[in-house]
Amino acid sequence: MTTPPPHGGPAPQGQPDQQGQPGPYGQPVPQGQHGQPMQLRPGAHSQEPHAQGGHAPGPHAQGAPGTDARFAPPRSERGAAADPAAGGASAPPPQALRLTEDDARLREVLHRVRHETAKAVVGQEAAVEGIVIGLLVQGHVLLEGVPGVAKTLLVRAVARALDLDSQRLQFTPDLMPGDVTGSLVYDAKSGDFSFREGPVFTNLMIADEINRTPPKSQSALLEAMEERQVSTDGITRRLPSPFLVAATQNPVEHEGTYPLPEAQLDRFLFKLVLDLPDRETEFAILSRHAAGFDSRRLVDAGIERVAGPDELLAAGARVSRVHCAPEVLAYIVDIVQATRRAPSLALGVSPRGATRLLAAAQAKAWLAGRGFVTPDDVKALVPGTFRHRITLRPEAQMEGAQVDRVLASILDTVAVPR
């Protein structure tokens, strides 16, 4: 039994690399006999069998549907082959956080948020979990979906179940920055100016259709999202805690919209995609409406308060103490570095994205009843945490590359700690 090569290292002596040198988008050059590269004339094609669609399958295509090895990092940067069974640890490490009865109680009330939200929204459990994780680690969430998939209703239901103060702001083309943060208003009685708080002064701000307002108004949220404060007229005012921006946008309409700049996208912890429901889910939705449910009257849905700001802050303090082993930290670093070296990507993940993935993985581990992070926690959160932080090259887009498929290929090629 041979020992796998170390991460990023060459194959052991006497075992030539069967994948060869990487070609465009990480696709290996076909090999001839004795592991030597095949010499192809210009315009000639390899004799290797092609997968459906006319492209040669990558080394990890079999058994990994939805991935595309053409857009993976070069072979020399992949390290040892990933082992799907090496994602979790069988026993907690000695440094793991010791969970107490308070942890169990807090987890129980937060898990009930999904049950209470389901009284108003059928399905979308992954989006509910994403919003809860965002609240635990003080991260913001971008919800993307076609009209009518209950993006705004979902956030309103979560806010009601967690007893959070929430404000909804419709982002329109004529929205001004002061409409978001607040502004100075002249008081005729006192003869002086007083500050009138904007809708950003809340626990959960719903920024509805955020891409319909110009960049000038979009940028009004930058300071609030990162520093959790608003500076006006030389005075800095702190925002309530916890604070989360839940923004929605429509991916199918582009006329009259303003794409969010990279600086603002990077401030969102997750980009959660809300898909159309399947047949069973849609039948449940219609049955509920046929029984008299009205999405405009959440008070009639019977959503109960299961937690509040104090419980969220207490749980967040415990989440920040969840242990992450050096091997898992190195795994996060390797994934982030691979996004920066992938030939199909013009922009990789920033250091902020790496720290946000770590925080989200700690929250996911804690919600699962563990005091330590596993590689499976990291892998599960990579798509939602990174899909809005990377940018495809134009030539990769012309080849039909998709962001989620590129991320899946990267996960397939980065060595998992054992």
Q: How far, in Å, CA of 107 to CA of 29, rounded?
A: 50
> Worst-scoring range by mean pLDDT, 69-78, 94-103, 216-225, 309-318?
69-78
pLDDT at 24 over 60: no
- Residue 400: pLDDT band (50, 70, 90) is confident
The stretch 30-45 carries a mean pLDDT of 40
When mean pLDDT is compared across 50-59, 138-147, 214-223, 267-276, the lowest value belongs to 50-59
* pLDDT over 80 (residue 267): yes
Query: With pLDDT > 70 as the criterion, what percentage of the chain qualifies?
Result: 78
Which of 322, 319, 333 has the alpha carbon at shortest distance from 417?
A: 333
Top pLDDT among 55 and 415 is at 415
At 9, the pLDDT band (50, 70, 90 cuts) reads: very low
Higher pLDDT, residue 252 or 154: 154
Phi-psi map region of 161: left, alpha, beta (phi>0 left; psi -120 to 50 alpha)? alpha
Structure confidence by residue, pLDDT tens digits, 77-95: 444 434 433 444 446 777 7
> Which helix (H) or strand (E) is 315 found in, with range?
helix 309-319
> Tell me, what's the pLDDT at 91?
66
pLDDT at 131: 94
Q: Which CATH class is domain 59-95+322-413?
A: mainly alpha
Using a pLDDT cut of 90, give the percent of the chain over it.
56
Q: In terms of DSSP bridges, do strands 166-170 and 140-144 run parallel, antiparallel, or are they unpaired?
A: unpaired
Q: What is the value of pTM for the model shown? A: 0.75
What is the side-by-side order of every strand in the sheet holding 244-249?
Answer: 166-170, 204-208, 244-249, 140-144, 268-273
Residue 70 clears pLDDT 50, i.e. is over it:
no
Q: How far apart are CA 191 and CA 182, in angstroms?
A: 19
Residue 398: C-alpha distances to residues 169, 365, 405 (Å): 37, 38, 15
Q: Which residues contact 382 (CB under 8 A, 6 or more apart)?
A: 335, 357, 407, 411
Split at pLDDT 50, 70, 90, the class of 357 is: very high
Q: Mean pLDDT across the stretch 138-163?
A: 92
For tokens 């979906």, the residue is: 145
- Taking alpha carbons only, the member of 408, 348, 414 closest to residue 382 is 408
SS (H, E, C) 281-314: HHHHHHHHHHCCCCCCCHHHHCCCCCCCHHHHHH
pLDDT of residue 193: 86
3-state secondary structure of 235: strand
Q: What are all long-range contacts of 334-337, with beta carbons under 8 Å and residues at least 24 apart?
A: 334/7, 334/79, 334/414, 334/415, 335/378, 335/382, 335/410, 335/411, 335/414, 337/77
End-to-end CA distance of the chain: 17
53 falls in which pLDDT band (50, 70, 90)?
very low
CATH class of 112-319: alpha beta
Average per-residue pLDDT in the chain? Answer: 81
Lowest model confidence (mean pLDDT) among 49-58, 235-244, 304-313, 353-362: 49-58
Distance CA 175, CA 160 (A): 27
Residue 281 confidence (pLDDT) above 50: yes
- Provide the residue ranges of all domains of the chain, joining segments of one domain with +: 59-95+322-413, 112-319
36 has pLDDT over 50: no
Kindly list the distances between the CA atom of residue 120 and the CA atoms of 84, 167, 297, 327, in Å, as whole numbers in the listed order: 37, 19, 10, 41
- Nearest 5 degrees, angle CA 132-CA 133-CA 137? 120
Mean pLDDT in residue range 390-413 = 92
Please write the tens of the pLDDT for every residue from 103-138. 999 999 999 998 899 889 988 889 999 999 999 999
Strand 166-170 to 244-249 pairing: unpaired
